[in-house]
Chain A
Amino acid sequence: MSASLLEIRDIRVHFPLRKGAARNAGAVVRAVDGVSFKLQAGRTLGVVGESGCGKSTLARSLLRLVPVTGGQILWQGSDVLTFNERQMRDLRRDVRMVFQDPFASLNPRMTIGELVREPLELFMPELDTRSRQQAVDSMLAKVGLDPRVADRYPHEFSGGQCQRISIARALIGNPKLLICDESVSALDVSIRSQILNLLTDLQAETGVACLFISHDLSVIRHVSDDVLVLYLGRAMEYRAADALFDDPRHPYTRALLDAAPVPDPAVERQRLRTTLGGDLPSPVEPPSGCVFRTRCPRADTRCAISLPTAHTVAGGVVACHRLEV
Chain B
Amino acid sequence: MSLLEVDSLAVGYRSARGLVRAVDRVSFTLEPGRCLGIVGESGSGKTQTCLAIAGLLPTEATVTGSVRLRGRELIGASRRDYNSLRGKQIAMVFQDPMSSLTPHLTVGSQLCEVLRVHEGMRGPAARRRALEIMERVRIPDPERRFDMYPFELSGGMRQRVMIALALILKPALVLADEPTTALDVTVQAEVIATFRAVIEHTGTALLLVTHDLGVVAGICDEVMVMYAGRTVECAAAQSLFAAPAHPYTRALLDCLPRADRPRGARMTAIPGQPPDLAALPAGCSFAARCVHAEDRCRESAPTLQSLGGAVDHGVACWRSEAAA
Compute how far the CA of A193 lies from the CA of B156 in the bound complex, rounded to whole angstroms: 28
Per a CB cutoff under 8 Å, which of A161, A189, A200 touches B256?
A189
Pick the interface stretch among A95-103, A257-265, A298-306. A257-265
Cα–Cα distance between A257 and B251 once the two chains are bound (Å): 24
Q: Does B193 contact A (CB under 8 A)?
A: yes
Closest-by-CB residue of A relative to B219 is A268
**Inside 8 A of B156's CB, which chain A residues have their CB?**
279
Nearest-CB residue, chain A, relative to B251: A190
Binds A, one of B10-18, B69-77, B119-127, B208-216: B208-216
The residue from A160, A188, A222 contacting B257, defined by CB atoms under 8 A apart: A222
Q: B189 near A269 (CB under 8 angstroms)? A: no
A277 vs B186: C-alpha distance when bound (angstroms)? 9
B322 contacts the other chain (CB 8 A): no
Q: Does B98 contact A (CB under 8 A)?
A: no
Write out, one digit per residue, whether chain B residues 137-167 have a CB within 8 A of any chain A CB (1) or not (0): 0001000000000000011110000000000
Q: Which residue of A161, A188, A263, A278 is within 8 Å of B214 (Cβ)?
A: A263
B185 touches which one: A194, A222, A259, A262 (CB < 8 A)?
Answer: A259
- Select from chain B the residue with minimum beta-carbon distance to A216: B185
Are the C-beta atoms of B184 and A190 separated by less than 8 Å?
no
A262 contacts B214, C-beta separation under 8 Å: yes
Nearest chain A CB to B305's CB is how many angstroms away?
24
Complex-state Cα separation, A278 to B269, whole angstroms: 37
Chain B: which residue is nearest A198 at the CB level?
B269
- The CA-CA distance from A51 to B252 in the complex, in Å, is 26
Contact A266 B241 (CB under 8 A): yes
Residues of chain B at interface, number, CB under 8 A: 46
Q: Does B217 contact A (CB under 8 A)?
A: yes
Residues 215-244 of A at the B interface (beta carbon under 8 Å): 215-219, 221-222, 241-242
Task: Indicate if A256 sits at the interface (CB-CB under 8 A).
Answer: yes
For the residues of A in contact with B, the DSSP-based class is helix
Contact of A196 among B211, B216, B258, B267 (CB under 8 A): B267
Q: Among B186, B214, B218, B267, point to the contact of A276 (Cβ < 8 A).
A: B186
B263 lies within 8 A of chain A by Cβ: yes
- Judging by beta carbons under 8 Å apart, are A245 and B263 in contact? yes
Tell me the bound Cα distance from A281 to B269 in angstroms.
38
Residues of B with C-beta under 8 A to A245 = 259, 263
A241 contacts B189, CB within 8 Å? no
State whether A192 and B255 are in contact (beta carbons under 8 Å apart), knowing that A160-B273, A258-B189, A267-B260 are contacts in the complex.
Answer: yes
Q: Is the CB of A189 within 8 A of B252?
A: yes
B253 & A215 in contact (Cβ 8 Å cutoff): no
A residues in contact with B255, CB < 8 Å: 189-190, 192-193
Q: Are A268 and B214 in contact (CB under 8 A)?
A: yes
> Quick one: which of B262-307 are within 8 Å of A by CB?
263-264, 266-271, 273
B-side contacts of A135, CB under 8 Å:
none
In chain B, positions 19-53 with a C-beta closer than 8 Å to chain A are 41-42
Chain A hits for B217, CB < 8 A: 261-265, 267-268
CB-CB under 8 A from A218, the residues of chain B are 256-259
Q: Which of B214, B215, B216, B268 has the most CB of A within 10 A?
A: B214
Contact A279 B154 (CB under 8 A): yes
List the A residue with the shortest CB-CB distance to B266.
Answer: A197
Interface positions of A from 190 to 213, Cβ below 8 Å from B: 190-194, 196-197, 200
Q: Are B41 and A190 in contact (CB under 8 A)?
A: yes
Distance, CA A263 to CA B154, complexed state (A): 27
In this assembly, does B106 line the interface, its C-beta being within 8 Å of a C-beta of chain A? Answer: no
| Residue among A190, A241, A267 making CB contact with B252, cutoff 8 Å | A190
Q: Does B100 contact A (CB under 8 A)?
A: no
Across the two chains, which residue of chain B brings its CB closest to A189?
B255
Judged by a CB distance under 8 angstroms, whether A158 is at the interface is: yes
Q: Answer whether residue A273 sits at the interface, using C-beta atoms and an 8 A cutoff.
A: yes
Q: How many angstroms from the CA of A258 to the CA of B258 in the assembled complex? A: 13
- Measured CA separation A263–B217 after assembly (Å): 5
Least CB separation from B270: chain A residue? A190
Q: Quick check: is A80 within 8 A (CB to CB) of the other chain? A: no
Residue B242, interface by CB 8 Å: yes
**27 A-B contact pairs sorted by A residue (CB < 8 Å):** A50-B185, A50-B186, A158-B273, A160-B273, A188-B42, A189-B213, A189-B252, A189-B256, A190-B270, A193-B257, A193-B268, A193-B270, A216-B185, A218-B258, A219-B257, A259-B188, A260-B214, A262-B259, A263-B213, A263-B214, A264-B241, A265-B238, A265-B241, A268-B218, A269-B218, A279-B156, A280-B154
Given A216-B185, A265-B237, A267-B217, 19 extra CB contacts under 8 A: A51-B155, A190-B270, A193-B257, A194-B270, A197-B266, A221-B259, A222-B257, A256-B185, A259-B188, A261-B188, A261-B215, A261-B217, A262-B217, A262-B260, A266-B242, A275-B186, A278-B140, A280-B154, A280-B184
Chain B contact residues, CB within 8 Å of chain A: 41-42, 140, 154-157, 184-186, 188-190, 192-193, 211-218, 220, 237-238, 241-242, 251-253, 255-260, 263-264, 266-271, 273
